[in-house]
Amino acid sequence: MKHSVIRIAAVSSLVLALTTACGSEELGAEREGDLALVDIAVLEAPSLTSFYAPIIDGLELDRANGLDITFVPKSTVALRTEVANGSAQVTAGASVLTDVALLNQQGADTEYLFNVFDWWGTVVTPSDSAVDSVSGLAGKTVVGALSTTNYAMFKITAGLDGVELSSLKENTAEPSGLVAAAKSGRQGAVQLWEPAHTVLTAGNDDFRSLDLVGGLKKALGIERIPYVGMAVQRAWLAENEDLVQPMYATFADAVDFIRDNPDEAAELIAEATGVDGDALRQLIGAPDRLALDVYPAKDAAAELEALLEAAVEYGVLTEKPEVGDLVYDGELAR
């Protein structure tokens, strides 16, 4: 039986319906000397996608790769709107499931170039709760940001684990309110992700974190879960394909720096995002949760096949797109 994760689809449909396609314009990147100028939309802090900007800007990794990148923070709704109507030409905050697959089904024309974060999400319950597994959520109340891709991924995971999704009692909250909801002690289960999870759990043992990622990997038979990365309008790509490799190299260099220099990286990110530096150091030291992973989208074709099939089964997508229609097929090298 198919279960409908309708909220995320409804938000995306509304976004597309309320916007109109951009008019024709020159899409070739402007240049300043030897540098190509690129505006990249990202989700505003403290989203994980905001973590790259202070590293790339602070170390001038873009310039080392022949680019001059301007990161443009957007709210989730604004980013999805602009991806849908084509005004956001390049974004490093696009979820492959929603901002590419779903919006393309609704008329957008985007392509997923490369991954920057694999999926990580959890459901936290009080440490003394009887709910200690995903299956134990059946019939329980779950608080979450119901229109987000992360919540949709949770529901896919729960469905694959045998939870009758219609049995969940869902209460919605803004992403910024999830930590407060969990801390209130009035909620038995809250679905969230990073960095909110680390902010909530750092320095205490008040919560149990259910393993969603391990469950989804096991159910789908995959080792990694492509999630958020660089997506572009195909019209922009046709004019600027020569910039894909340097963008890829820039983000890959940023990941290498974060992994090799966790203290300095935490300091740069903390200053730019307002997230506590100690919490960031803890998060960087937990690569399973931070899930930095830069690789060409086409290298995850098998994983995307499995994920897209599950998304159709649980109502996130109306039909399964061909992976080759979503991802960039050019060669990218570290």
Asked whether the beta carbons of 136 and 211 are under 8 A apart, the reply is no
Domain 122-220 has CATH 2.60.40.10: no
Q: Sign of dihedral through CA atoms 248, 217, 282, 92?
A: positive
Q: Fold match between 6-119+224-325 and 122-220?
A: yes
Please, what's the b/e burial string for 245-268 (b: 16 or more CB within 10 A of its CB; e: otherwise)?
bbbbbbbbbbbebbeeebeebbbb
**145 confidence band (pLDDT: 50, 70, 90):** very high
Q: What is the mean pLDDT of residues 143-171?
A: 97
Helices marked H in 139-211 — which ranges?
149-160, 178-183, 196-201
Name every residue whose Cβ is closer than 8 Å to that of residue 125 and which is 6 or more positions away in sequence: 131, 132, 188, 189, 207, 208, 210
| Mean pLDDT (whole number) for 83-96 | 95
Is the confidence at residue 26, as pLDDT, over 80?
no
Query: What local confidence, expressed as pLDDT, does residue 23 receive?
Result: 43
Span 229-254, average pLDDT: 98
CA 75 to chain CA centroid, Å, is 13
Band the pLDDT of 21: cuts 50, 70, 90. very low
The pair of structure tokens assigned to 15 is 């976004």
Percent of the chain topping pLDDT 70: 92
Residue 1 has pLDDT above 90, yes or no: no
Reading the block at residue 221, the tokens are: 């038979």
Question: Are 235 and 17 contacting, i.e. CB atoms less than 8 angstroms apart?
Answer: no
For residue 211, pLDDT over 90 is answered with yes
Domain borders along the chain are 6-119+224-325, 122-220
**Three state DSSP letters for 29-60:** CCEECCEEEEEEEEECCCCHHHHHHHHHHHHC
> What is the structure's pLDDT at 185?
86
Give the count of beta carbons closer than 10 Å to the beta carbon of residue 183.
15
**Cα end-to-end distance, the chain, whole Å:** 43
Q: Which residues pair with 67 in a beta bridge?
A: 36
**What is the dotted CATH code of the domain comprising 6-119+224-325?**
3.40.190.10
CA torsion sign for 20, 77, 269, 212 is negative
Calpha distance 67→32 (Å, rounded):
9
- Band (pLDDT 50/70/90 cuts) for residue 229 is very high
**Confidence bin at 29 (pLDDT 50/70/90):** confident
